[in-house]
Amino acid sequence: MKDCTYFTRKEILRLFHRYRDLAPQLVPLDYTTGPDVRLPYELIGSMPELKDNPFRQRIAEVFSEDGEGNMTLDDFLDMFSVLSEMAPRDLKAYYAFRIYDFNNDDFICKSDLEKTLNRLTRNELTEDEVRMVCEKVIDEADLDNDGRLSLEDFQHMILRAPDFLR
């Protein structure tokens, strides 16, 4: 388990406790038998770290195995592992792509961009502005001119971004 994430054993145990704290009545303390427990999205999304994140639902969906935002302990650890600062940029870029790909079609298309933008700005831009920004983004980052961003485009762009931390 340690080698699958970027955490030490201690940190994993701590994360387990946090996971359990979300719903003490659902999660058993003893995990040796590997029970199939899932926490619903409402609980995951209410964590202080995700509470204010405009993409919390997407994050939960991407990392959960069923795609609905309901997470097992494994998914939970996985999420924290990828989001931790130890994870390499490649991996983060991949997951970031998944997060921004709202309709799961392996491309970021215009509707995805619009959704992203509206979440980022809380719908404060006018429609024209949104359209313009989306066109600009596609224009800038789309290397193969198919009108949408593939994972490759996305990585090409985002790995050069100064603010894309690890």
Partner 1 sequence: VGIDIDGEVESAEEDKKAKGKGAKKTAAGKRGKAVTSEDGEDEDEDDEPPRGRRAAKKKKAAQADEEDSDDDIPQRRCAGNRRRGKVRESGGDGENEKSGRKSKRGGNKKQKDKGKGKDKDNDKDSDKDEKKKKNSSGDDSKSDEEEESMSEGEMAKLMEEVEEKKKLIANIRNKPWRMKRRLKVLKEAQQFVDKFEGALGKGKGRKLYAYKVMMMKKWIKFQRDFENFRTSCIPWERKIKEVESHFGSSVASYFIFLRWMYGMNLVLFGLTFGLVVIPEVLMGLPYGSIPRKTVPRPEQATAMDYSVLTDFNGYCKYSVLFYGYYNNQRTIGFLKFRLPLSYLLVGIGSFGYSLMVVIRTMAKNADVGGGDGEDSEFTFAWKMFTSWDYLIGNAETADNKFASITTSFKESIVDEQENQKDENIHLRRFLRVLANFLITCTLGGSGYLIYFVVKRSQEFANMDNLSWYEKNEMEIIMSLLGLVGPMLFETIAELEEYHPRIALKWQLGRIFALFLGNLYTFLLALFDEVNSKLAEEDSIKNASIWFVKEYYANFSANNPNYTGTPPPLDPSDGIRGPCWETAVGLEFVKLTISDIQVTYLTILIGDFLRALIVRFLNYCWCWDLEAGWPSYGEFDISGNVLGLVFNQGMIWMGAFYAPGLVGINVLRLLSSMYYQCWAVMACNVPHERVFKASKSNNFYMGLLLLILFLSLLPVVYTIMTLPPSFDCGPFSGKAKMIDIVMETIDMDLPAFMGTILGYLANPGLIIAAVLLMVLAIYYLNSVSQAYQNANMELKKKMQMARDEDKNRRNNKDSTNQVMKDLEDLLPKNAQTSHAHPEKNAEKRHDQGGKSPKVKPGSAGNDVRLQKDVSLASANPNARGPVTRAPGPRGPGPLPGQPGAGRGQGPPPRR
- According to CB under 8 A, which one of 22, 26, 37, 117 is a site residue for partner 1? 117
Q: Dihedral of the CA atoms 151, 100, 134, 164 (nearest 10)? A: -80
- According to CB under 8 A, which one of 23, 46, 49, 67 is a site residue for partner 1? 49
- Rounded to an integer, what distance in angstroms lies between the CA atom of residue 102 and that of residue 104? 6
Query: C-beta of 43: minimal distance to partner 1 in Å?
Result: 15
Q: Which helix (H) or strand (E) holds 129?
A: helix 127-141
32 touches partner 1 (CB under 8 A) = yes
Q: How many Cα atoms sit within 13 Å of 67 on the Cβ side?
A: 5
137 touches partner 1 (CB under 8 A) = yes
Compare residues 1 and 25 and give the one whose CB is closer to partner 1.
Answer: 1
- According to CB under 8 A, which one of 88, 103, 104, 111 is a site residue for partner 1? 88
Query: C-beta of 87: minimal distance to partner 1 in Å?
Result: 8
68 touches partner 1 (CB under 8 A) = no
23 touches partner 1 (CB under 8 A) = no
Per residue in 58-72, is it b (16+ CB within 10 Å) or e — as a string?
A: bbbbbbbeeeebbbb
164 touches partner 1 (CB under 8 A) = yes
Exposed/middle/buried for residue 119 (C-beta within 10 Å: 0-12, 13-18, 19+) = middle
